[in-house]
Amino acid sequence: MTTGAYRVLAWVNMYRRRYDLALGQIDRALEINPSDAESYGQRGIILVWAGRAPEALPWLEGALRFDRAHALISSNLCYAYFFLGRYTEAVDSCDRALSRSPSRTIQLESHPFLAATYAEMGRSQDAEGERVVLLHLSPVFNGQIFAGQFGTQEARDHMLEGLKKAGFR
């Protein structure tokens, strides 16, 4: 199989929340081509969504050294920083991602993180602004469902706490 095929399998398994299988697939892609920036970044993304932000950080930061303008990597770096309590860096990364991509996916994932991050920082007006933007994009946004996507209870609780502080139910 090719690097691309393993990356596709890794995405499928990640979205099915089969994080260990996804990591196995992306590791196979990296065995084939260890300097593939996409695979490098994807490994970090899988780790973030698996609730393993400390492990994700070097992969995501490394992927940005390959491509500083990669919005998906920047957004996931924001998520890793959020989970690590590095809120100022989270805001910077989410802002960078949002400025580089009008993608609906980037918008729908980054605005909840920004709202939760601002709330955790005590910046209630900024958190409210992000909440308004997100509810405009997705009027049926549900904080519990969003937080439930992450692979550990600690990550789910951290996200849900931030979203509640930002005014989500």
| Structural domains of the chain sorted by starting position, each given as residue range(s) with its CATH number in brackets | 3-165 (1.25.40.10)
d(CA 32, CA 56): 20
Q: With contact defined as beta carbons under 8 Å apart, do 77 and 103 qualify?
A: no
Please tell me the predicted confidence (pLDDT) of residue 120. 97
For the chain, the first-to-last Cα distance in angstroms comes to 45
Helix (H) / strand (E) containing 143 = helix 143-147
Summarised one tens digit per residue, pLDDT across range 23-52 is 999 999 999 999 888 999 999 999 999 999
pLDDT digits (tens, 9 = 90+) for 78-121: 999 999 999 999 999 999 999 998 899 999 999 999 999 999 99
How many Å apart are CA 55 and CA 64, to the nearest integer? 16
Q: What's the CA angle centered on 7, arms 4 and 12, to 5 degrees? A: 130
CB atoms near residue 149 (< 10 Å): 14
- Using only C-alpha atoms, the chain has a radius of gyration, in whole angstroms, of 15
pLDDT of residue 102: 82
pLDDT of residue 46: 97
Stretch 113-131: mean pLDDT: 97
Amino acid in position 64: L
Please give the pLDDT value at position 35: 85
**Residue partners of 110: CB distance under 8 A and separation at least 6:** 75, 78, 94, 97, 98
Q: Work out the angle between the directed axes of helices 71-83 and 87-100 (0-180°, nearest 10).
A: 160
Per-residue buried b or exposed e for 23-45, using 16+ beta carbons within 10 Å of the residue's own CB: bebbebbbeeeeebbbbbbbbbb
Yes or no: say if 114 and 91 are a contact pair by the CB < 8 Å rule.
yes
pLDDT of residue 126: 97
**Residue 48 region, left (φ>0) first, then alpha (ψ -120 to 50), else beta?**
alpha
